[in-house]
Every structure is written in C-alpha cells, then in structure tokens.
A and B are shown apart, each in its own frame.
Chain A
Amino acid sequence: MNVPTEHLLILSAILFAIGMGGFLLRRNMIVVLMSIELMLNAANLAFLAGARQHSAQAGHWVAEGPVMVTFVIAVAAVEAAVGLALVIAFYRRKQTVSLDRLSPTGATSKAN
C-alpha cells in the first residue's frame, strides 16, 4: 500500500470527529460508549500511521506505535467493561439508559 501518511491521518481525524459528535449528541449511554470506542480507534489509526511513516523513513520497523496500539486496545476493553457495568448499575436504579436521567449528585431525582 503506497497511500501517503496524510490520508491515513485524515481518515483518523474524520473518524475521531464522528466519534466526538456521537459522544456529544447522543443520549443513549451505550451509544456514547460506542462513540468513545470509535475515538480510540481513530487514535490507534493515527499511531499506526506514525509508526508506518517512521518505519519507512528509518528503513526498519519502529515498534513503539504497534506497542502503544496494543495498550490502547487493552484499555479500550477495560473501558467498555467498566462502562457497561456502570450502565447496568444505572439501569437497575432508574430503569433507563438515557443520560438525561443522570443527576450530578447521584441522588434519585425528583424532577422526573
């Protein structure tokens, strides 16, 4: 593949922006978590684009990018597990996964 690094980085930027939009605009907690996964994927893509650029310039494989991507994937798995456990705990209390029902104090809100 002889695609320039810029195109990989542009793809990464677009995916990150889409994830950010979903994170800001969606109310469903599960979809918000999915948007975070999208942003992490975009960051991974940028890491790999950088690793590829460095490897091609240096003439040998630069391993830091792939290593970092592996750690990001591990952290993404952790984040999905903890986030979904929190969603389930929240659903037990409020019978909904809408972020509108999340009150800052954690108290059962009287408004709804």
Chain B
Amino acid sequence: MVDLLFYVAAGVSVLCALGVVVSANPVQSVMMLLGSFVGIALIYLLAGFQFLAAIQILVYGGAIMVLFLFVVMLLNQGDPVVLAREQGVLRKEQLAVGLAVAGSALAVLLVAVVRTDLPRPIFGYLWPEGGLDPLLGMAQAMFGPYVLAFEGASVLLLATAVGVMTLAKRQRSTPVAAANEEVSA
C-alpha cells in the first residue's frame, strides 16, 4: 500500500516535471514545478525523512515557488501577447542535439543504476523503532562535524541578499555612470 503510494508520487512528479519543460506558459510551468516538488516531498516522507519533507514544502513549495511566480508575473510572462513575442523558433538540429544530450545522460545514469548490485536490506520502517531519530542525528552532524559548512551557508545567504539587492536595484542614470558610482562608493 505504502509502496504503491511511492509509485503514484513518482509518477506525479515525473509528469509534472515534463509539464514544466513542455508547457509554453511560464505560469503553468511554475504550477507544474510545484506539483513535482510536492510529489518529491511525499517520497521523502515515505522514505522516513519527515523533516526534509517539511523543508521541501516550506522552502521549495513556499519560498522558491513564490519567488518564481513573483518574477513571472512582474515581467508579465503569462500574457499571451508577451508569450507570442518571446516564442523563439527552435531549429530541428537544436532540438535533436538537446534531446540527444539529455537522452544519453538518462541512458548513462540508468545503466549505472541497473548495473550496480545493491544489497536489499529491509527498508520497512517509516519511523524507526529505537536507534537514533533522523532529525536528532542530522542536527548532531550539522552542528558537529559540519558546523563550518553550516556557517558558510549562512555567509552565502547573507552575501546573496546583498548581491541580489545590488543586481536588482533600479539604475538611476546610464549603466556606465552607475558602475562608476559603485566603484567610487
């Protein structure tokens, strides 16, 4: 029963991922991406990573999706007139090369997975009896051996906040003058 739920979630996430790539309207793409993320979150939940499922919904389904939707709507990308203007012509050879590269990546990955002989332990737990709670172990690892990486991530987030504000700031004068201002500041 639970296994069946995994295959349903997997199918939903794959179909939604295809929808992201195929649909012409970026608003539809964002919605499809949301569906894909929710399907993956369900798989995390089924595999016993409850905290990561919550993070997946909160950060991906909440923050990142809102950011994408906000930009799509800010730039008026859902508008049919804009869509018709933006629609680039994809040449046949471009399509062929793109599909060939993605297809060969898929083939290499699938062959690697199928040819690897993994042992089959019993996975039949959702919440393990005894043993270390996954969240507790994760917290101990993150604030133990990986504390430097954790602090690095926070520095990265701060740098991003500053960088994004600089990038998205409306330029008051010509680009060259603005660049000179930034250099002198």
Q: Give residues in A with beta carbon < 8 Å to B.
A: 1-22, 24-28, 30-31, 33-35, 37-38, 41, 44-45, 48-49, 51-53, 56-57, 59-64, 66-67, 69-71, 73-78, 80-82, 84-89, 91-93, 96-100
Contacts and interface: CB of A to CB of B under 8 A. Distances in A.
Place the interface of chain B in its size category: 35 or more
9 contacts: A2-B3, A30-B75, A34-B29, A52-B47, A61-B128, A78-B156, A80-B67, A87-B75, A91-B75
Contacts of A16: 105-106, 109
Nearest to A87: B71
Interface in B70-117: 71-72, 74-75, 77, 85-86, 88, 90, 94-95, 97-99, 101-103, 105-106, 109-110, 113-114, 116
Contacts of B59: 73, 76-77
Given A15-B14, A28-B86, 9 more contacts: A1-B6, A21-B98, A48-B44, A48-B52, A61-B131, A61-B133, A67-B141, A84-B71, A85-B164
Interface in B147-180: 149, 153, 156-157, 160-161, 163-164, 167-168, 170-171, 175
Contacts of B138: 61, 63, 66-67, 70
Contacts of B126: 1
A2 B51 contact: no
A87 B168 CA distance: 9
Contacts, number: 243
Given A1-B126, A13-B110, A34 B33 contact: yes
Given A21-B21, A45-B40, A76 B60 contact: yes
Contacts of A96: 85-86
A4 B97 CA distance: 33
A20 B17 CA distance: 11
Nearest to B142: A67
Contact of A77 (B29, B63, B171): B63
Nearest to B47: A52
Contacts of A64: 141
Interface of B: 2-3, 5-7, 10, 13-14, 17-18, 20-21, 26, 29-30, 33, 36-37, 40, 43-44, 46-49, 51-52, 55-56, 59-60, 63-64, 67-68, 71-72, 74-75, 77, 85-86, 88, 90, 94-95, 97-99, 101-103, 105-106, 109-110, 113-114, 116, 118-124, 126, 128, 131-134, 137-138, 140-142, 146, 149, 153, 156-157, 160-161, 163-164, 167-168, 170-171, 175
Given A37-B60, A48-B47, A24 B118 contact: no
Contact of A24 (B20, B98, B171): B98
